[in-house]
Amino acid sequence: MLPSTRIETRFFADDGKTPNNSDLPLILMRRTEAADAGDPAAWFEQRFIANGWSGIWRWGVYSYQHFHTNTHEVLGVSRGSATLMLGGEAGSEFQVNIGDVILLPAGVGHKCIASSQDFQVVGAYPGGGKPDLIRPGEANHDAARGRIKKLPLPELDPVYGAKGPLMQHWR
């Protein structure tokens, strides 16, 4: 990990509509080496695949609040910048830029509030899971929390493998 990569973690409370995750914090890695790569999207894809995260896609972040109960998710900012609302409607706004990585534990709400026209993320899931997509208040809240609690932890951090921040903050 480069010394310039700053790690932030945050827990979000269950707000009755978005369960968030009481056991695992959101992890935000600021300015990974992808920021200086010739092709940041390819850099993220290579790292994610090497560390067992697949089902890879390139796109933006939905403009409506949603969460996943059946998988964790990683988002690597490969182009542009955005303001994301993380942690459901009662969560917090985060400004993200090229090279940033958002590691979302299952249940954590997320949406894009505003972005540059060129904003793009590379997304992936541990073991290539196929995420459900649930909007706050759409699912049985207790059942959603139960599915989230049963999920296994990823074997490796999607960017830094066995020495990454996921291993420190999720183990």
> Tens digit of pLDDT for each residue in 61-85?
999 999 999 999 999 999 999 999 9
Predicted confidence (pLDDT) per residue in 87-134, tens digit: 999 999 999 999 999 999 999 999 999 999 999 999 999 998 899 999
pLDDT at residue number 29: 98
Q: Which CATH class is domain 6-169?
A: mainly beta
Q: Which helix (H) or strand (E) holds 165?
A: helix 165-169
Residues 17, 33: contact at Cβ < 8 Å? no
pLDDT at residue number 6: 94
Q: Residues 15, 17, 23, 24: is their CA dihedral positive or negative? A: negative
pLDDT at residue number 3: 52
Predicted confidence (pLDDT) per residue in 127-148, tens digit: 988 999 999 999 899 999 999 9
Rounded to the nearest angstrom, the gap between the alpha carbon of residue 113 and the centroid of all alpha carbons in its chain is 16
pTM value is 0.96
| 102 burial type by CB count under 10 A (0-12 exposed, 13-18 middle, 19+ buried) | buried
Residues 6+ apart with CB under 8 A from 81: 95, 96, 97, 98, 115, 116, 119
Predicted confidence (pLDDT) per residue in 20-64, tens digit: 999 999 999 999 999 999 999 999 999 999 999 999 999 999 999
Helices (H), 21-157: 40-50, 141-150
Rounded CA gap, 131 and 147, in Å?
12
